Chain A
């Protein structure tokens, strides 16, 4: 005797999956997340460093007429269209992957005008010490790539690493160097 194949489970599962998918598509359309808008900590940091104004986020660089595509570490190129200020949001690996999320404001000559850590996922009180103004201020005004060294810096482009946080210090330097180089390519 042949048993009849029971289609009910298949149909129910397909229906449930189909309905859930359809509802999610509708939900996603109705709350469309706009990546060109600044929000949260990044918006606070922008206002702190560049002042109030109309902000514009450029995601597709080629479309905007820039010579290169956005490097993967650069999360956003942010323009304050009121004052003409330019800033990069750069996310680099420190001790932890994507540990340091920085906002670096550039001046017209390609130097670092201001910088801050938007979000720090490094080890608390070890890697997070890179946020200290004493360390951060080393990077102000730099227009050429810098290098982190252990111990006392001997050349102009050298900056002393924070003891115990060499990799976090390197991450900040990498972010600053990337900002300087990218600015040079875009506007130099």
Chain B
């Protein structure tokens, strides 16, 4: 039981996909001009994430490693299509608001990332917990950025007026530039609060370690010559 809770919780803060892993930036920047759309997008992604994690985990022993990526993509794209069908039928306003970004969930790197890093190696329930945790973390991130941008940029929150007269809405926050700016500040603040820098950083898990080593060697080579 404890493992499930830890798995669930780690996606929300410790390994939050947006704030710490910097995955799925496209919807975070594109759909956070209003808190309502941000939460809608977060929930849609969570649904796809949980479903695809469950199915991929169920099939983990059947899928040969050589074709696992195409298989994962097909399963994920299937759930995205299902989500867009359901939204179009039952929540048409959200379908209209999300537009192209709804289909783009299919190439959201959080979902394929979790399939690749977690669901294909773990049991079904654990994968579901992981998907749910990551989904909630993603939704929270979208909600935070969306709220800040909507309050500062429109003076409203979920469509309700919160800063009637005393602050003039600042348009920059709902423009793309304001999105980058807000996201940067939020990431900085969350990282400052939630995590202290570890004393010794190991290069073992870094995807760029080979490149890093090579460039260091080159530099030594150059300095020796000079």
Q: Is the interface of B mostly helix, strand, loop or mixed?
A: helix
Q: Judging by beta carbons under 8 Å apart, are A27 and B82 in contact? A: yes
Q: Nearest Cβ distance between residue B10 and chain A, in whole angstroms?
A: 29
Q: Judging by beta carbons under 8 Å apart, are A8 and B64 in contact? A: yes
Q: Which of A16-24, A106-114, A132-140 contacts B (4 or more CB under 8 A)?
A: A16-24
Q: Which of B21-29, B85-93, B138-146 contacts A (4 or more CB under 8 A)?
A: B85-93
Out of A20, A23, A40, name the residue touching B93 (CB < 8 Å). A40
Indicate the size class of the contact surface on chain B. 20 to 34
Q: Judging by beta carbons under 8 Å apart, are A12 and B64 in contact? A: yes
Q: Judging by beta carbons under 8 Å apart, are A124 and B89 in contact? A: no
**Cα–Cα distance between A31 and B87 once the two chains are bound (Å):** 10
The 8 A CB mask of A12-38 against B (1 = contact, 0 = none) is 110011001101100110010100000
Q: Which residues of A contact B77 (CB under 8 A)?
A: 20
The 8 A CB mask of B26-62 against A (1 = contact, 0 = none) is 0000000100000000000000000000000001001
Q: Which residues of B contact A28 (CB under 8 A)?
A: 85
The 8 A CB mask of B144-172 against A (1 = contact, 0 = none) is 00000000011000000000000001010
B75 at the interface (CB under 8 A from A): yes
Q: Judging by beta carbons under 8 Å apart, are B66 and A31 in contact? A: no
Q: Judging by beta carbons under 8 Å apart, are B92 and A40 in contact? A: yes
Q: Nearest Cβ distance between residue A3 and chain B, in whole angstroms?
A: 14
A: number of interface residues (CB 8 Å): 22
B67 at the interface (CB under 8 A from A): yes
Q: Which residues of B contact A123 (CB under 8 A)?
A: 175
Q: Which residues of A contact B63 (CB under 8 A)?
A: 12, 16
A-B contact pairs, 25 of them (CB 8 A): A8-B64, A9-B64, A9-B67, A12-B63, A12-B64, A12-B67, A13-B71, A13-B74, A16-B59, A16-B63, A17-B74, A20-B74, A20-B78, A23-B78, A27-B81, A28-B85, A31-B85, A40-B92, A40-B93, A40-B96, A41-B93, A124-B33, A124-B153, A124-B174, A125-B169
